[in-house]
Amino acid sequence: MVECCGAKTRSGAPCKAKRMANGRCRMHGGKSTGAPKTPGSIYSKYLTPEEQRVSAALKLGSIDDELRLTRIRLMRALALENKIDEDDPDSELQIESKTIEPQLIGGMVDTEINEEGDEVEVSIVRRQYRRRDYSGLIDRLTARIANLESQRAMLMNSSMDTERKQLELDRLRKDKAAGVVHNVIVVPHCTSVDDWEKAAQIQQSGLADNDV
């Protein structure tokens, strides 16, 4: 029985290619034989220990998690857009800017005495609010989902093509090992009935010679 590689493909199915002595097929590279001789990614030294553990456990080659998260965010945005808070109509407001400036009276800066007995300037905090743009957020999330779906389809097609090529390569290797020869007949280019008849005679003559 042929032992398969078993590595997970992008579609999630195990690789069915014949594995080498190191436990993996040629495509998946085999098992690690030790620590790398060169340092890892330049980004790894800027990660915290917790981030490094999470990074090592992250699944690559798939955007399913990102797609699920974006759909959840879209669901939240739709729920908030449809929510009406009658007790607090300003609950949908968010701060856009905040400035602190001195209070002026008659063109002069107003002052007051603080608890320590010092004279300090009286400041005014000005805040500018705006309503949350749920429509824009929903549009962006919808476009993001469409983009992720397109990328997911491309990844799945690429994975299927790779698996088909691997299976075809394995089949050719088995046929070669078994001594199976695939006859390839070249189809001539003909433009008339006479040409087709001549081509057929040539083909038949060639096959007869091969039989001999």
Task: Give the pair of three-digit tokens for residue 89.
Answer: 């109509």
CA 26 – CA 13 distance, rounded (Å): 17
β strands within the chain, DSSP E: 93-102, 104-105, 108-109, 111-113, 119-121, 123-131
Q: Is 4 helix (H, G, I), strand (E, B) or coil?
A: strand
Looking up tokens 């090529």 gives 165
User: In DSSP terms, which residues pair with 101 in a beta bridge?
Assistant: 124
| Domain locations in the chain as residue ranges | 1-29+61-83+132-179, 93-131
What pLDDT, on the 0 to 100 scale, is given for residue 212?
A: 46
* Tens place of pLDDT per residue across the chain (212 aa): 567 777 777 667 777 777 777 777 766 665 455 555 555 567 777 888 888 888 888 777 778 889 999 999 999 988 887 775 544 555 566 667 778 888 878 778 787 887 888 878 888 888 777 777 888 889 999 999 999 999 888 888 888 888 888 888 888 888 788 775 555 556 666 666 677 677 777 766 765 555 54
